[in-house]
Amino acid sequence: MDLSEILTHLGEDRGHGFDAVVPPIVQSGNFTYPTVAAMRAVVGNEFDRPLYTRGYNPTVAMVRKKIAALEHAEDALVFSSGSAAIAAAVIAFTKAGDHIVCVQKPYSWTRKLLAELLVRFGVEHTFVDGTDAENYRRAIKPNTSFFILESPNSLTFELQDIAAVCAIAKEHGITTLCDNSFNSPLFQSPILLGCDMIAHSATKYLNGHSDVVAGVLAGSHERMRRVMSKEFMTLGACPSPHDAWLLMRGLRTLPLRMERSADNAEKVARFLASHPKVKRVHWPGLDSHPQHSLAMKQMKRVAGLMSIELNAPDVAAVERFCDSLKRFLIAVSWGGYESLQWPVCALQASQPRSSGGPSGYYADLPFDMVRLYIGLEDADALIADLAQALERV
């Protein structure tokens, strides 16, 4: 099925919605049956039948079909956040006494899931430098049951060779999950590289308008049924039908937005890489990135998120740069229409290192690092804005 059919038609079943072109939102929390026997047939089959909206909702189901098709997966689940999707997937496939191997510097709440939550339930973990796939193999113990990949990660942009890591996992009967948020389903397909499950923060590129927090998980029918029947239902992190509908609206323009963000990022990255006030640009699309050839091998294009390190003498100089930017809003998140900046020093100053707060996690990152998200604006305007702000460093 071609991309435009997935995004414009798949799963929409217009006959069930008054033949409206845009599917109506099924906001109902519960569903009725003509007979007791009809109800009995649905109880226990909530994976694909409506009973109660925490389990199955027809509007959410349309998005599930589209995500599964985009990720070359048999099925998908939609969650109320990306973190919920990741947590449900990890918890579903681990038990007390197991060991998880995860790439170092994953998304911060993925790290907390392992380091602060699952340790309380007797699940161990090791963070590895994923730039060498063999580090995953070296970390395997007799009780290793799960590998977490995030390629590239969204701060330092280190890649894992997905096919190599997943091949190691298969040899040892280990389940794999890849956070594919950076790439969207369009620029990288981890399932085709041998990965078992894919998670996305749909808050980012999939929705693309900075007005919904949501997550998705994709994989085989069997794995998705397993997650749905226990973790999805008990943790209850289901999306609202309205958010699912907004997410579907965002998906309509996914290819246009991805191409534009990537085109803009390429221009901005080249400008930054040649500027004397910029020490380093972390973006896998540049020839100078240490894993550029792996990026070209396993990714179709490189999306619009990058980090820079400034040639700045102190935090005040970084702040002058950031405060001077007019087109890059100071904010967390990314993947919307609007360009953003996220200075690492904003988190480093917020709490003492000993508190275990965000600064504990970000303390090993350079103070002069600023993450930039390149949105859909005019690239020349973004570059002009960066040029004037770099003069303040």
Q: Mention every residue, 6+ apart, whose C-beta is less than 8 A from residue 190.
A: 71, 149, 151, 162, 166, 178, 180, 198
Instruction: Please answer whether residues 93 and 146 qualify as being in contact, where contact means their C-beta atoms are separated by less than 8 angstroms.
Output: yes
Q: Which residue among 213, 251, 262, 386 contacts ligand PLP (CB under 6 A)? A: 213
Which x/- pattern over 143-162 shows residues binding ligand PLP (rule: CB under 6 A)? -----------x--------
Distance CA 96, CA 124 (A): 9
Cβ of residue 277: shortest distance to ligand PLP, in angstroms?
Answer: 27
Cβ of residue 204: shortest distance to ligand PLP, in angstroms?
Answer: 6
Question: Is 175 near ligand PLP (CB under 6 A)?
Answer: no
Q: Mention every residue, 6+ apart, whose C-beta is less than 8 A from residue 120.
A: none
- In three-state secondary structure terms, 107 is coil
How many chain residues are in contact with ligand PLP, going by CB under 6 A?
12
CA–CA distance from 100 to each of 17, 89, 126, 170, 206 (Å)?
Answer: 44, 12, 6, 15, 28
Cβ of residue 236: shortest distance to ligand PLP, in angstroms?
Answer: 15
Q: Which residue among 151, 160, 201, 207 contacts ligand PLP (CB under 6 A)? A: 201
The residue (of 169 and 303) whose beta carbon lies closer to ligand PLP is 303
Q: Is 54 exposed, middle or buried (0-12, 13-18, 19+ CB in 10 A)?
A: middle
Which x/- pattern over 96-135 shows residues binding ligand PLP (rule: CB under 6 A)? -----------x----------------------------
The residue (of 340 and 389) whose beta carbon lies closer to ligand PLP is 340
Give me the helices (H) in 132-189, please: 134-139, 162-171, 184-187
The residue (of 271 and 362) whose beta carbon lies closer to ligand PLP is 362
Chain residues that interact with ligand PLP, rule: CB under 6 A: 81-83, 107, 154, 179, 181, 201, 203-204, 213, 215
